[in-house]
Structure 1
Amino acid sequence: MKRIENIAHRGASAVCPENTMVAFERSLELGATGIETDVQLSSDGRLVLIHDETLSRTAGAEGWVKDKSFEELRNLDAGAWFHADFAGERIPSLDELFDLVRGKDILLNLELKNGIISYKGMEEKIIQAIRDWDMEQQVILSSFNHASLVRCKRLAPEIRTALLYMEKLYRPYDYAARLEASALHPYKQAVTREEVAAALAQGIATHPFTINDLAKMQELIDMGVKGIITDVPDVLAALTAVHSH
């Protein structure tokens, strides 16, 4: 039985400030087999890892990610909001995360945050970075912006894509196959056993988000999902350890 991918949502975000290097490092210590993070662009075109399009919630500053230079973003504190112990944590660059996981048996799920802000040239930039680091086999690109994922697929057929969605879709597996996606990343309420099976029959994996409840994890594993996106990789790691014996 192939492992269930244990994908840490924004890193170990239950115990560390999300989308920081400390959160990514901690998630690996807690048993994650994958890391999910959010990619945006600084005003000078650098790929940075932060969820919100604005800085107020996790970086204690006013304004938009897109309007700040990489250096300005690096001067912000991305840890103090979570707990004083993490004061001084920085907004990471994509390169730093690549450096952490390259050559390890870790899946990297990069979510392009280009639904609200259409970052021009983002797809080209992210693919160039993946190729520069030889990460083609380790990365899966996801987005709620499915047109962007089609663009990624055209630019780099060898890099896997995954469709993020919140609501129920009609035959999502057929839609995914048409877009040449490798996986569906549905919100946890939008997934059924039949869809998981039908997707798998077309070679398409299902990795629902964001599941922190043990019973729900178990239910999804029983449905046949290939991975789970979670804030608590240690909880999922304990559960999958039971399965593998």
Structure 2
Amino acid sequence: MPQIIAHRGASATFPEHTRASYVEALAQGADGLECDVQLTADGVVVLWHDATLDRTSDASGLLHERTLAELRALDVWSWHQAAPPPASHGTLADQVLTLTDFVELAAAAARPVTLVIELKRSSLFSDGEGALEDAVVATLRAAGWDSETGFITGTNVDVTFMSFSPASQRRLAVTVPAERLMFLLDEAADTDLVAEFAPESGATPETVGRLRALIADAQADVTTGRIGGLGPSVAWCRAHPDDVRAAVAAGRHVRVWTVDDADDARFLIELGVDGLTTNRPGALRAALSA
């Protein structure tokens, strides 16, 4: 069976990226934990998906304008309408996680756990200054991460990285071995592609062409092995099954998101993928083991 990776934790059960979501994912037997990371106003690497606060908290505005202390004062629970977490999953005031917290939580499981870290960039057109990538590497090193082995020293926790951004991948490749990197792909219409990855630009033919060229360059990096992994969506795999098979045959790691349906999972297993990212780690494992 492929690795079962919990997408932002057991996020069908508890709010995404919260302590409770990850504790629950481990309790459900997830092989690994996936997260998105961004920088706070005071330079802390924090687990958060959106550029804004609106969807997953009781506040609005941009994440990067808030300090860690301000984020921890927010209600990040009520939007999900989940029951309050059990004591074992942390208090309501203890749910916002830093990358350091994330590593410590995984290490406390005292079993093999893969951490899958997605680095978020506001635009694929930005070459970035590498602030996020550098902060992630520095945070992991402070936690005992060995870039050569990929493991947190003294633990059974290993770390991999992924991004939709070719610039982010190439920045990390200076430090991180190719087999620990993964390029993310989705099957998106031109307008959706622009809205997601170049929101400051209009959906002009030039903008779309530049985006498609960046994606093609990154796919070439996977083909040549400069990036060792491919992280496509279920939709992309359905549209390009031969490309998935080719990546598997070439020895690339292929981990697919977001796989909550057992029929999708079986289709992907037939293609040979070695990782399934899901909001429902326990339920998916049970369905595939039945």
TM-score over 0.5 for the pair: yes
TM-score, L = length of structure 2: 0.76
The one-letter code of the counterpart of 1:200 is: V
Matched, 1:91 2:139: no
Q: Which runs of 5+ in 2 are unaligned?
A: 85-91, 152-157, 189-214
SS of equivalent residue, structure 1 residue 28: helix
Q: Secondary structure at the match of 1:81?
A: helix
Root-mean-square deviation (CA, aligned residues, Å) is: 2.3
Aligned partner letter, 1:161: L
Deviation of the 1:178 alpha carbon: 3.8
- In the other structure, the counterpart of 1:56 is 54
TM-score (norm 1): 0.89
Deviation of the 1:80 alpha carbon: 1.6
- Over 3 Å counting, the alpha-carbon distance change for 1:90 and 1:218 in structure 2 is same
The question of whether the paired residues in 1 share the 8 Å contact of 2:178 and 2:228 is answered with no
Q: Which has the larger radius of gyration?
A: 2
Alignment partner, residue 205 of structure 2: none
Give the unaligned 5+ runs of structure 1: none
Taking the TM superposition and a 5 Å limit, the aligned residue runs for 1:141-220 are 141-157=161-177, 160-167=180-187, 174-178=220-224, 180-191=226-237, 192-220=240-268
Deviations 1:64-115 (A, max 9, x none): 1100111111111111211263354532111111001136311111111113
**Is the 8 Å Cα contact of residues 38 and 112 (structure 1) preserved in structure 2?**
yes
User: In 2, Cα distance between the equivalents of 1:139 and 1:177?
Assistant: 22
Report % sequence identity. 31
- Per the alignment, residue 9 of structure 2 pairs with 11
1:62 CA drift (Å): 1.4
Report the number of matched residues: 240
Aligned match of 1:130: 140
Matched with 2:275 is: 227
CA contact (8 A) 1:77 1:89 kept: no
Question: In structure 2, how many angstroms separate the alpha carbons of the residues matched to 1:113 and 1:173?
Answer: 18
Distance in 1, matches of 2:263 and 2:34, equals 22
Q: Secondary structure at the match of 1:207?
A: strand
> Are the equivalent residues in 1 in contact too, given 2:37–2:119 (CA < 8 A)?
yes
Q: Is the 8 A contact 1:187 1:209 kept in 2?
A: yes
Indicate yes or no: 2:37 matched with 1:39.
yes
Counterpart residue identity of residue 21, structure 1: R
After superposition, give the CA deviation of every residue in 1:1-48 in whole Å (9 maximum; x if it has no partner): xx4110111100101000001000101111210111110000010000
